[in-house]
A and B are shown apart, each in its own frame.
Chain A
Amino acid sequence: MIAALCVVVLAAILLLAGTRLPGLTSASDGGLCRVVTGALAGMVLFHLLVTLLDLAGLRWSVLSLGPGLALPVALAVRYAPRSEDQRRRLPSDLGWGDQTALLAVAVFALVALTLWVTTSDFFYHWGTKGERFFLAGHVDYGFLSRSWGWAVHPDYPNLLPELYAASALLAGRFDAPAQMLWSVLFFVLLLAAAREALKPAEPWVRQTGVALLATATAAFALRQQFAGGADWMPALALLAAIPALARQPDDAGDLQIGIAAAFAAASKVEGVMLAGLLVLAQLARRPVAGRWLGGIRLLRLAAPTVLVVLPWWIEVRRYHLFTVLATGGLTRERVQAALPALLDVLNHPVWHGFSYAMLLLPLLALRRRTRPLALVIGGQLAFYLWIYLVAAFDTRFYILTSFPRLLFHLLPAVLVGVLAGKSQGHQGLQGLQGREAADGTELLCP
């Protein structure tokens, strides 16, 4: 119970830290956008802090992490101009779809806390690394660089094990059930991001969309044993980026994309690719104001990802942690093995048929507003397919054992993108913002 409380407390601190940062939202963004982007920013900030402590040779502790997180927040509160968007309101008009979604989250959370639906990757590497880092008080490169360290994917970015370790530090011990709450948190943020992205939709579509995403995700997560893993994080980063990708680039949108990209890059190796695609998709578009490739714009978009990727890359090189992916080149045999395997994944029982929503991806490319999202999802999908086609593994086995899970990075965004994109023709973001403000049906954002 104490350990679970520590996870909640740490998550709240990171949320608070992230939402205090200036310039995260634009006038058209709702309170949920501030919460989601703030939470991602808080976690990225936390990752940068522990990276800095590691570089300085300082052991993680409540004493080193506390002031480390408090300092930038205090500076932001003291010196950053306080704008109206910091008092953005959260929706209080919870509809039937929101309530269904909360019920789905509760069901997943209760089962996840039993550890019965914990992913095997939790004890193969995510959880093992989290506990080792907790015991060591830093990212334990000695452990990762052991000759048998290849089994824990030592070259993966470490945000998730760092979160595990930090909440264990607060609690004084590593408690596996409590760590499942991070997956629950990512699930909640995923739904919050989806609701924000669906804000322009008709209320019925918005409620159905949120409920559909929540129930389908919970069903998948229970069947796939999805608790405790990092695959929630790229999916969350992608969903969090949708509102910014759907409107003409502005300063806040650039920063939102930059933070979502950094969060993706800190979560998984695949996330580094996703980060690059997100930044490129935003950079390819001319901003509302300012120079297209201005220094400040580049800083907002790319600096968070560079700050995350550069130290990771240096340490991985320094300790020779890259687990080389054996490539065998593109061959006819691999293509012939891959196609039926991909079809089998679409029919995989873990997805209950919702995997076929990937076939809606071309619809995103048809609409101007969702075209950047289509580019990102298409690029990431092409990246996965390319790896499958050139990796010198049993192609069919490789696809069947990993692609059902990797599809989760993309499917929620496809679903939300299709629903939001369809609706944006009916109602502009600004119009909805105005209507909600007039209704006065909102709560103050933290």
Chain B
Amino acid sequence: MIRKLILGFALAWAIAALLLETGRALAGFDDRGQSRDEVPYWRFGTPQVDELDRCLNLVRQRVPPGRVVVFASPADTPETPETPDHEFFRWRWAAYLLPRWEVAPLQDPTISRTAEYLITWRRDLEIPRLAFLAGDPGIPGCRLYQVRKAVP
């Protein structure tokens, strides 16, 4: 009897948990257009991901598949120690959204040799080797550059 009571209570608890989580998930999905989550919590269909995806259209339209495209977004700063690795996560999203290109992070040690293009998202970069190709005026800091060969 006691075993049945324990099991019955556990099942009731699990059903309540499932109802709660289903409601939470559906409410979050319905409100996805208002999401202001930081990058570790980005999900498909949120404005942040949609904006990044629109910015990456510059690559889809102007860069041949297979090329090495460096992705640069706002750098993690010491002032925000609680949110490190945001740049990393944004880069991973960009790599997922551009499966036909070799999307590299700005911090990669080999990047000065291998980079062919560079796209920025919400970031301004001043690097002499960059030749501006295109930008999306509707998205802050969304610019595509060609990377000139390094002078030996």
Contacts and interface: CB of A to CB of B under 8 A. Distances in A.
Contact of B96 (A100, A127, A135, A146): A127
B40 A120 contact: yes
Given A116-B32, A223-B24, A174 B99 contact: yes
Interface residues of A, number: 41
Contact of B45 (A115, A146, A208): A115
Interface of A: 100, 104, 107, 111, 114-118, 120, 123-124, 127-128, 131-132, 135, 143, 146-148, 151, 174, 176, 204-205, 208-209, 211-212, 215-216, 218-219, 222-223, 225, 352-354, 422
Given A116-B43, A123-B96, A208-B7, A222 B14 contact: no
A357 B141 CA distance: 50
A146 B104 contact: yes
The 4 closest A-B pairs by CB, nearest first: A123-B96, A219-B17, A215-B14, A115-B44
Contact of B15 (A146, A147, A205, A215): A215
Interface in B72-96: 88-89, 91-93, 95-96
Given A176-B44, A219-B20, A352-B17, A211 B11 contact: yes
Contacts of A422: 3
B137 interface: no
A208 B23 CA distance: 23
Contacts of A135: 99-100
A211 B21 CA distance: 16
Contacts of B108: 147-148
B150 interface: no
B92 A124 contact: yes
A116 B29 contact: yes
B14 A354 contact: yes
A204 B4 CA distance: 9
A219 B99 contact: no
B104 A104 contact: no
B88 A148 contact: no
B25 A222 contact: yes
24 contacts: A107-B22, A115-B45, A116-B25, A116-B29, A116-B45, A120-B40, A123-B93, A124-B92, A128-B99, A131-B96, A146-B102, A151-B95, A151-B105, A204-B4, A211-B14, A212-B7, A212-B11, A215-B11, A215-B14, A222-B18, A222-B21, A222-B25, A352-B13, A354-B10
Contacts of A354: 10, 14
Contacts of B22: 107, 111, 222
Nearest to B8: A208
B61 interface: no
A114 B104 contact: no
B111 to A, nearest CB: 8
B33 interface: no
B116 to A, nearest CB: 14
B13 A353 contact: yes
A222 B23 CA distance: 10
Scoring B13, B21, B43 by chain A CB atoms within 10 A of each residue's CB, the highest score goes to B21
B94 to A, nearest CB: 10
Contacts of A212: 7, 10-11, 14
A120 B93 CA distance: 9
B18 A215 contact: yes
A208 B44 contact: no
Contacts of B102: 143, 146
B109 interface: yes
Contacts of B44: 115-116, 118, 176
B19 to A, nearest CB: 8
Contacts of A131: 96, 99
B92 to A, nearest CB: 5
Contacts of A223: 21, 24-25
Contacts of B109: 147
B151 interface: no
B21 A205 contact: no
A148 B68 CA distance: 11
A240 B104 CA distance: 40
Given A118-B44, A219-B17, A354-B14, 13 more contacts: A107-B22, A111-B29, A114-B29, A114-B45, A115-B43, A148-B104, A151-B95, A151-B105, A208-B8, A215-B17, A216-B18, A223-B24, A352-B17
B21 A219 contact: yes
Contacts of B93: 123
B25 A111 contact: yes
B107 to A, nearest CB: 9
A98 to B, nearest CB: 13
Contact of B95 (A100, A115, A128, A174): A128
A116 to B, nearest CB: 4
Contacts of B28: 116
Nearest to B70: A148
A208 B21 contact: no
